[in-house]
Structure 1
């Protein structure tokens, strides 16, 4: 169901807004609206402009909390809820964050300096690592005056060509230092006069130059070992400082979390100012705030009772004197769903499609019942149904997964239909079917012949659901005062009479009864179709509009004929769509029959491993397919007839849960 909402306008002295939020609004859930947008008829309103003084402190506290979560143990994290629940006044919270930030910055600066040193050393190691086998003094090489040199790397395929065809005819020495699957690292020497020509040759071989800084001492190996040792020392210092920083945050964990919670509450209060408006009172310095928002009817009355003795706050609840008067707001009331725990998981499907509008019916209970029932009929097996029920229940209880709750409810109906079908993990000889066996039970249908009984029952059940959805559509349209969708639409009273007449006629034919006379059939079928054909002119006539018939009447008739064809086709296709219920009931029994056949059931020597694996496979694969198919029926065959899902979510500025 959708909780009934009340629109509140709360006002009081501007300086008193924090007290009101902390004392009263923090105890209730209120969906705030922008007061300037809502109170457009009120003159001389100004925005409540103040800079949030807690924003910087909150960002710092949040940074500390993120750091704590990144390395804290489960024991430390368990203290979060307790610490956040501690009450801390604003001055203490701000002083705590400032004090901790000062000490933290010193440790963090040391850590950052060491991190920069590590980066520098790592870069030096990266450059010299491929040349560490070079047994020459690096600093001496870098001081050569008459011999040019280059450090770099060359692709293996180019190096092989260079070595085979060019190297012996070129005035250069190439010293190979290292290699991997793709490259060979090394350096080449060349006399000064030949440097440009040799450089061009190396470039043609895709030689990539590597810059070698003059900071290295000794041979390449000695320089590499010195850098590696230096890195080890810096890394040790870095880890020590990091551990000190982490230990510092852990030692102040409770203070940080309590301060963060206190500052977050105060910062949230300042965020409310963005939605508030200000107006002047009688005195020159009298300025009052105005807050607008939605509360549930229960909370609104409790709130009004709570503030009745407070002379500094005044609250108006729109429509309180006359419940039939809608509040004059620019937005429809937000939607807050309230359903029993059994139906709560199915709200996930409603949210996926779209929340119901405030004046629309909440279909959660309808989805919960029909989804579970149809799933059970399509997946009728007592054993597998019990597994779904138990597994889904445990996951929902301990992990709070909404889909698991849906699976658990569906498993109950799967078990029930398994008993009705006489199926237990695919075995159909353990107990007799209380109703029928989907694969074997047939019935004779006039004009068609023999047809599986579950197909006929599925179509009949689907026709009943379609009629019920039409009733829901009429109720929703009545609430919205939508004349067309009450009387003349495909799913209105006219559509209900037509489709209901078709349902009754089919039932009469199947049971061997004769149809009513021609005049009655015309009333049952002809008049509703005429009303649907002329729905727009008839709606205009009822609503007393000046223009009843459209100007281009020829186009209106042609368009109406095509729409009528589409209407009749949709009635037919939507009805046949429910055949899938019976089809999956039969296919499930057939798949389990194949599993038992593969397990050697007919020979009398059962392979229980095949039975277990087959049941798991069928439960997983067909359970997923059936779940999707049932959801398709809900969305396309049922929701499309009565449900729009155009509501907006009720979002309190500070949830009380």
Structure 2
């Protein structure tokens, strides 16, 4: 259980050396910056260092250039030195200007192409009308409407067959509608429009053109081909232009990002309003302290002082976990719930052991466990996925418990020769023949883990100098005694055997319940809290009466929740029995294929569900008893960006004033 020890470092120096301090001691190492103003008295005359980042605009321009080119930036570098100065920024501006011109032209052509495609789609519905559009639209005594009628409304037109108001001419039919035109005298057009509106006629506006719809469609298709060719030409030009300049742009962007980060870190500093001195405050892990001290001593005009966390009362130190390699993957689950407070207990080893144990029991199969372990290892090595690394110990645990229940990819007799060779009559535990045993063992595991969790609460409370919590809380010594007593009572009742004498059980339970009833007062007395006595006894008695009942019900529900461990053991065995039955002859070609398919489903589906259920047991049945997860994470600046990029930078930026921001020395290949 390892939480790294921290040192609080206060750095003082001339503002001209602030950038050198940031690049040498902050970005390139383990350093958690804090707002210096939180550690300085207001009467000392220091003010926050609020400045506009001079690199943001250039970074934004390069990202806009990449967006125009339709590519994703790759922050790479070669290490050849150039000067990122006003000429370089001018080069970026010229790139953006050229690409913007091409992009504007592309947008114009693209918009025009959309209009042509939309017009072509409209005219395509009316190719059956062999009348020039200009003649239809310029009739002196008639009005013409273009559009479509839904198929379910089209039969209703028959009711108007003998009318003298309008004529509907159908031009085409598709899956949903009948397309065509209707015409009516100008004097009656409003009445006709109302009739067609009742038929859900969907009118479209045809742009004025000359020729029949078929002739117009031919012209539009030719225009469409022409515009598409122009669009492809511009896309090729943009792609070629970016290919020519991408390497340089990406490298400049990589270094400007680092420079921008370094400049942003200046906002944590405080500057003396009457002089050119700054103060910078942050946390350094003790393991990195010697390195930090060596780096800072190499900077002229900068001094520092350090303090242990116990001497600093204004804020709590950040938390950085440092576990042994086998436990390290499980830090992800701890961080997911919340880090322990500084000076608290790192529960990562507890999580690693209990999670692997429960997963292995619930997913007990020798072959499938090995598949999970090997698959997780390969995915981690290839993809670097943290979650995949957790599958290695979980898979090994599954393989181990698979040996106990004699299951190998669902084949229940495959390991019988092994058992006989070591002198056993058969598998140690046959799941489907020992259902009650499996469920009782699951409850037993739950009882043990609940007691261990309560024991951890006692340990954590004592470590945090809260003996009252350790003794009298629901998950303290009193809670453990009450829980153990209730468990003994239930075991005695179910088995018919006397575990504890009835009188002892009643006396211990009543005493523990009374202590829990008055736990707030007792904890307040022992831990010397203020205002621990109730303001109104009637409210206190009523509230605590129901809380004691809730405590007992919680003990019961937490324990019963572990039945899911046994249930998953049975479900796993049951699912493999189903696939075994479907396979028929398990050792035939068809049977083997069926079993392979079944194993794939079980590994994917049940593996996921088992992982989720075990995590639920960890969070709700165990963590909730002893763990707060209120720690502040250690955010090392060096972890926020690729350090390999930073290490190739020389003087990430020189200026301390806006006027000097023209010259920035960065190592980049041009």
TM-score, normalised on structure 1? 0.84
| 2:268 equivalent to 1:317 | no
Query: Residues of 1 paired with 2:46 and 2:502: CA distance?
Result: 70
Flag the 1:120–1:622 CA change in 2: closer, same or farther, 3 A: closer
TM-fit CA distance, 1:572: 3.7
Instruction: Give the aligned partner of residue 297 of structure 1.
Output: 286
Q: Which residue of 2 aligns with 1:448?
A: none
* Distance change (3 Å), C-alpha of 1:621 and 1:261: closer
2:322 to 327, 338, 351: 338
Q: Which residue, 177, 185, 205 being the options, matches 2:179?
A: 185
Q: 1:411 to 1:87 in 2, by over 3 A?
A: farther
Change (3 A) 1:507 1:138: closer
Does residue 234 (structure 1) correspond to residue 227 (structure 2)? The answer is: yes
1:108 pairs with 103, 117, 130, which one? 103
The 1:315–1:421 alpha-carbon spacing in structure 2 relative to 1, beyond 3 Å, is same
Match of 2:12 in 1: 11
Q: Judging changes above 3 Å, is the alpha-carbon distance between structure 1 residues 173 and 552 closer, same or farther for their aligned structure 2 residues?
A: closer
Gap runs ≥5 in structure 1: 443-450
Q: Does 1:328 align with 2:321?
A: no
Per-residue deviation, residues 437-478 of structure 1 (Å, max 9, x unmatched): 144887xxxxxxxx9544454444433322322232123223
The answer as to whether partners of 1:470 and 1:492 remain within 8 angstroms in 2 is yes
- SS of 2:540 mapped into structure 1: helix
For 1:397-476, list aligned pairs within 5 A: 397-425=381-409, 426-428=411-413, 429-432=416-419, 436-439=428-431, 452-476=436-460
Partner deviation per Cα, 1:282-340 (whole Å, 9 max, x = no partner): xxxx2333333333223344222211142332333232xxx642x2334x333333333
After TM superposition, the structure 1 stretch with the greater mean CA deviation from structure 2, 581-590 or 59-68, is 581-590
The equivalent of 1:445 in structure 2 is: none
Do structure 1's residue 132 and structure 2's residue 94 form an aligned pair? Answer: no
Distance 2:341 2:374 in 1: 35
Change (3 A) 1:48 1:71: closer
Deviates further, 524-533 or 44-53: 524-533
* 1:513-544 per-position Cα deviation (integer Å, ceiling 9, x unaligned): 9858978x799666554433322112222344
Query: Taking structure 1 as reference, are residues 430 and 388 closer, same or farther at Cα in structure 2, changes over 3 Å only?
Result: farther
Instruction: Describe the superposition over 1:545-578 as per-residue Cα deviations: whole angstroms up to 9, x where unpaired.
Output: 5655324324333433333333333334433443
**SS of residue in 1 equivalent to 2:162:** helix
What's the CA shift for 1:161?
2.3
Instruction: Indicate how the Cα distance of structure 1 residues 436 and 587 shifts in structure 2: closer, same or farther if over 3 A, else same.
Output: farther
- Distance change >3 Å, CA 590–CA 225, structure 1 → 2: closer
Give TM-score, length-normalised by structure 2: 0.83
- Partner SS for 1:6: strand
**What is the CA deviation profile of residues 134-176 of structure 1, one whole-angstrom value per residue up to 9, with x for unaligned ones?**
32333344333333333333334444322x2224321434333
Q: Distance in 2 between matches of 1:603 and 1:495?
A: 54
Taking the aligned partners of 2:165 and 2:556, their CA distance within structure 1 comes to 90
Contact 1:88 1:262 in 2 (8 A): no
1:63-117 CA-partner distances (Å, limit 9, x unpaired):
334456x458xxxx8xx45437666543165244223223322322322232232
**Which of residues 257, 260, 269 in structure 1 aligns to 2:262?**
269
Q: 1 or 2 for the larger relative contact order (CA 8 Å, sep ≥6)?
A: 2
Cα distance change of structure 1 residues 85 and 415 upon mapping to structure 2, 3 Å threshold = farther
Q: Which of 135-144 and 255-264 deviates more?
A: 135-144
Counterparts of 2:437 and 2:167 in 1: how far apart (Å)? Answer: 91
2:610 aligns with: 626
Question: Take 1:610 and 1:569, find their aligned partners in 2: how far apart are those partners?
Answer: 45
Q: What SS class does the counterpart of residue 24 from structure 1 fall into?
A: helix
